[in-house]
A and B are shown apart, each in its own frame.
Chain A
Amino acid sequence: MSSPLLGEFLRSRGVTRRDFLQFCTTTTALMGLSSTMVPRVAAALEQARRPSVIWLPFQECTGCTESITRAHGSTLESLIFQGISLDYQHTLQAAAGDAAERARETAMKENWGRYLLIVDGSIPTGNKGFSTVAGRDNLSLLQEVARGAAAIVALGSCAAFGGIPGADPNPTGAVAVSAVVKDKPIINVSGCPPIPVVITGVLTQYLTFGKLPELDALGRPRSFYGQTIHDRCYRRPFYERGQFADSFDDEGARQGWCLYKLGCKGPTTHNACATVKWNDGTSFPIEAGHGCIGCSEPGFWDKGGFYQPLSTGQWGSARTVGTAVGVGAALGLASAALARKRQKDAEGA
């Protein structure tokens, strides 16, 4: 397949050298690499062939696609994204029906063993009719396309961990990509949706070094998910000082104090929101006044209420503790009575 170099493609789209290097600098920093690596990243990226990418959306809401295509304006991130040879994405592509499926089959055949597979959405394992594409059920389509992929990017929390479709009671039997595909490298780019620059960062890393990034225990790139929101939160000093907002409209909230008591999941959530931010670096949820809901963590939908503080324990009720007091007192009285009887017997003997 003829594919121009990424550098040529970006220049043809009017991207200046300055913008390109700025992107490389940001991405290099995000990948946790030294600034001395920027020229290498830039050179590698310029020379990168546009890789063939097949994108399979399954049980999803298109939020992940929205996140990266960024309808509000054309950014370098979206151009980098366009710089890949996206050979199949049924939400974005113009072709439909048989033509679309033929495009996928052709891309798979021509790039067998080399193409990158992006999956967003979870895979239903219950009734095959729950989610279909061109009459094919999601499970068999994923298994077929995964066989020829060099690597798989599970984009968004649904593909990475099952997400909202997998939330209790999980009516469709939704599972993550990793539950279906066992023999291919999988990069989980979680988030609901993931941050655009994290998506392009992962693609850049793959294009630059030709290998997968270092992953954490949950299969997420360590460079983006290595720290918690809490670690890098600008409200952290208030947490340290014990200054918390008790409601969304109290003085603490107005002063920008820590949202821990209002259920912020920042301490348990690994993502780059606090540093990269959203909407061209405008802000992130905590900056907008709402606690983190922990969307990049597995099972975030089922971890109790979004407004329940993390410290909350289901420690039982006053009734349970009251019963324990009763039982303890009864046991104490009984053992004391026994001991007293033994004492008396001993004295009498």
Chain B
Amino acid sequence: MSLLDFARGPALQWSIVIFVVGVLWRLLGVLLLRTRKDHSAPRKEAAWKGLRLIALRSWPRKEFLGGTAFGEVMGYAFHIGFLLALFFFVPHVLFFADIARGLLGTDLHGLTGLNWPTLPNGVVTLLSAISIAALVAVLIHRIVSPVKRLISNFDDYFSWLVTIAPLATGMAAFAHLGGWPYEQLLAVHLLSAELLLAWFPFGKLMHAFTIFAARGSTGMLFERKGASL
């Protein structure tokens, strides 16, 4: 079995299994926790309006702009670049379509007649480069800033590593870096993405699933208590 066969076969299967098991385990474990009954009279009846906090917390507040601008800009640069490269790069789209066909027997085109749009390779390369630059910048900031360094642990650094790895190896595979055989570069890229999947539920990357639920529930709590959002 070649490295690519391993990456496409057992490694891919196991990483997906670990990802699914881990995400459900953690999500259900949190969502099914007991919530204490709040016997106080609500200040505002329509607690759902607190869901506004999801949007409000996604944008910097003027008061703190000086301290948070760097993180916000870098965060958006990385996330947008990463997600666009992940979901709109031609080989990725074909890969996901293949998974959909394996799972559902059909893909998006078969289900809806629509084609998943893709981005030109040059744009994806640029977005990946921006993402990598942003990740490097936030790592330097994390190391240089005494407070951030103090509150950082293994999870932060390892999550950073498994996030930048697929970007870097993907670009290397695309560029056929160093004249290495494409299969090896592709295998390393797949393995790095699989490491990301396997680590995902157990570290801070899990925020992708919890962040909006957490902000929403906090917002609803604040709204009920009459706090200003």
Q: What is the CA–CA distance of A306 and B2 in the complex, to the nearest angstrom?
A: 17
Q: What is the CA–CA distance of A184 and B179 in the complex, to the nearest angstrom?
A: 23
Q: Which residue of A lies closest to B93 (CB)?
A: A242
Q: Which residue of A lies closest to B95 (CB)?
A: A311
Query: A329, B99: Cβ atoms under 8 Å?
Result: no
Query: A309, B25: Cβ atoms under 8 Å?
Result: no
Cβ–Cβ < 8 Å partners of B179 in chain A: 216-217, 222, 226
Taking a contact as CB atoms closer than 8 A, the residue among A228, A260, A313 that contacts B176 in the complex is: A228
We find that the number of chain A residues with CB closer than 8 angstroms to chain B is: 46
B23 interface residue, CB < 8 Å from A? Answer: yes
Interface residues in A259-279 (C-beta closer than 8 Å to B): 260-261, 267-268, 270
B146 interface residue, CB < 8 Å from A? Answer: no
Task: Give a binary string over B85-99; 1 marks a CB under 8 Å from any A CB, 0 the rest.
Answer: 000001101110011
B117 interface residue, CB < 8 Å from A? Answer: yes
Query: A336, B29: Cβ atoms under 8 Å?
Result: yes
Query: B98, A332: Cβ atoms under 8 Å?
Result: no
B24 interface residue, CB < 8 Å from A? Answer: yes
Q: What is the CA–CA distance of A315 and B7 in the complex, to the nearest angstrom?
A: 10
B142 interface residue, CB < 8 Å from A? Answer: no
Cβ–Cβ < 8 Å partners of A327 in chain B: 21
A317 interface residue, CB < 8 Å from B? Answer: yes
Interface residues in A310-340 (C-beta closer than 8 Å to B): 310-318, 320-321, 323-325, 327-329, 331-333, 335-337, 339-340
Query: B102, A317: Cβ atoms under 8 Å?
Result: yes
A242-B118, A325-B24, A332-B28 known; A228+B13 contact, CB < 8 A? no
Q: Which of B59-67, B73-81, B180-188, B206-214 contacts A (4 or more CB under 8 A)?
A: B180-188
A299-B2, A318-B103 known; A324+B16 contact, CB < 8 A? yes
Cβ–Cβ < 8 Å partners of B104 in chain A: 318
Q: What is the CA–CA distance of A231 and B179 in the complex, to the nearest angstrom?
A: 13
B121 interface residue, CB < 8 Å from A? Answer: yes
Query: A314, B13: Cβ atoms under 8 Å?
Result: yes
Taking a contact as CB atoms closer than 8 A, the residue among A216, A241, A315, A329 that contacts B102 in the complex is: A315
Interface residues in A282-299 (C-beta closer than 8 Å to B): 297, 299
Cβ–Cβ < 8 Å partners of B90 in chain A: 239-240, 242, 260
Decide if the interface of chain A is mainly helix, strand, loop or mixed.
helix
Taking a contact as CB atoms closer than 8 A, the residue among A321, A325, A332 that contacts B32 in the complex is: A332
A170 interface residue, CB < 8 Å from B? Answer: no
A343 interface residue, CB < 8 Å from B? Answer: yes
Taking a contact as CB atoms closer than 8 A, the residue among A310, A316, A328 that contacts B22 in the complex is: A328
Cβ–Cβ < 8 Å partners of B27 in chain A: 332
Query: B20, A311: Cβ atoms under 8 Å?
Result: no
Q: What is the CA–CA distance of A118 and B216 in the complex, to the nearest angstrom?
A: 72
Cβ–Cβ < 8 Å partners of B8 in chain A: 312-315
Query: B20, A325: Cβ atoms under 8 Å?
Result: yes
Query: B12, A329: Cβ atoms under 8 Å?
Result: no
A218 interface residue, CB < 8 Å from B? Answer: yes
Q: Which residue of A lies closest to B89 (CB)?
A: A242
Q: What is the CA–CA distance of A218 and B184 in the complex, to the nearest angstrom?
A: 12
Query: B182, A324: Cβ atoms under 8 Å?
Result: no
Interface residues in B95-149 (C-beta closer than 8 Å to A): 95, 98-99, 102-104, 115, 117-118, 120-122
Query: B20, A335: Cβ atoms under 8 Å?
Result: no
Q: Which 10 interchain pairs have the tightest Cβ spacing?
A: A332-B28, A328-B24, A336-B32, A242-B118, A328-B21, A324-B20, A316-B13, A331-B25, A335-B29, A311-B95
Residues of B within 8 A of A (CB): 2, 8-9, 12-13, 16-17, 20-34, 90-91, 93-95, 98-99, 102-104, 115, 117-118, 120-122, 176, 179-183, 186, 190
A-B contact pairs, 12 of them (CB 8 A): A299-B2, A311-B94, A314-B13, A315-B99, A316-B13, A317-B102, A321-B16, A321-B20, A321-B103, A324-B20, A329-B28, A343-B34
